């Protein structure tokens, strides 16, 4: 499935840590392990990472949900690790998430397209594109085509927006996690709060509000 922003087309697929694309420095492969491990630790804590479900199963899970509901899952494409599945006004669709040299971004057909944001982990990417975390002028306006059989030049597509995650039945957030999300949403410096060190570590283990 394909989505596009302006002239940037997207497949199934920490703000402020965007990674530059041109002339990358020498890369230590051990950093891949660190980046990927960190991302999956965050995803496991999120409660809305659904693992190795298929695109069809993701569609079924999202079909009756409101527009903007989303989940993360493993991509069925061998060249991608993850895919974002989201309910649009025309039904569920998916966007692949690409990875290279410590950076994650929404996959694009136009590889050289300018201003394609990349992030050091997937949670930062998702948080950037959620409605609650962006002002209207900052919010990216994606266009998706939920049905591959309708991919024609005259297709106008539908807006893709992220509003709320869909938690797994066994991944519903605890009261502690909900409190952590609220704290993270209200402050940019949770490590400076007058809290015991164990609580500060708990906040640092998931520094997101989504």
Residues 6+ apart with CB under 8 A from 111: none
- How far apart CA 8 and CA 17 sit, in angstroms, is 21
pLDDT in the model for residue 146: 46
CA dist 146 → 106, 110, 140 (Å): 16, 20, 18
Confidence at residue 106, expressed as pLDDT on a 0 to 100 scale? 85
Q: What is the pLDDT of residues 143-170, one digit of tens each?
A: 344 444 433 333 345 566 899 999 998 8
What is the CATH architecture of 2-170? 2-Layer Sandwich (3.30)
Q: How confident is the model at residue 11 (pLDDT cuts 50, 70, 90)?
A: very low
Query: CA nearest 6: which of 160, 180, 152?
Result: 160
| CATH classification (class only), 173-210 | mainly alpha
Tell me the per-residue pLDDT of 102-159, one tens digit each, with 9 for 90 and over: 999 988 654 444 556 889 999 999 999 886 444 333 333 343 444 444 333 333 455 6
Spans of all domains in the chain? 2-170, 173-210
Instruction: Give the residue from 118, 123, 138, 100 showing the smallest Cα distance to 184.
Output: 123
Contact 72, 48 (CB under 8 A): yes
- Residue range 38-86, pLDDT digits in tens: 999 999 999 999 999 999 999 999 999 999 999 999 999 999 999 999 9
Residues 157-205: pLDDT tens digits? 556 689 999 999 888 889 999 999 999 988 888 778 888 999 989 999 9
């Amino acid at each position: 499935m394909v989505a596009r922003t302006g002239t940037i087309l997207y497949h199934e697929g920490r703000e402020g840590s965007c990674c530059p694309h041109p002339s990358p420095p020498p890369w230590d492969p051990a950093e891949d392990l660190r980046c990927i491990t960190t991302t999956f630790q965050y995803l496991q804590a999120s409660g809305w990472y659904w693992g190795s479900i298929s695109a069809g199963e993701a569609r079924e899970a999202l079909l009756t949900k409101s527009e903007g509901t989303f989940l993360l899952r493993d991509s069925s494409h061998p060249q991608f690790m993850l895919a974002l599945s989201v309910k649009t006004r025309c039904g569920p669709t998916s966007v692949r998430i690409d990875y290279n040299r410590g950076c994650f971004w929404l996959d694009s057909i136009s590889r050289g397209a300018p201003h394609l944001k990349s992030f050091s982990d997937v949670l930062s990417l998702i948080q950037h594109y959620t409605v609650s975390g962006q002002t209207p002028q900052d919010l990216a306006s994606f266009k998706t085509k939920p049905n591959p059989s309708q991919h024609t030049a005259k297709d106008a597509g539908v807006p893709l927006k992220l509003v709320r995650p869909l938690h797994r039945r066994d991944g519903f957030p605890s009261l502690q996690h909900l409190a952590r999300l609220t704290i993270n949403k209200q402050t940019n410096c949770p490590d400076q709060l007058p809290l015991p060190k164990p609580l500060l570590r708990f906040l640092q283990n998931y520094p997101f509000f989504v």
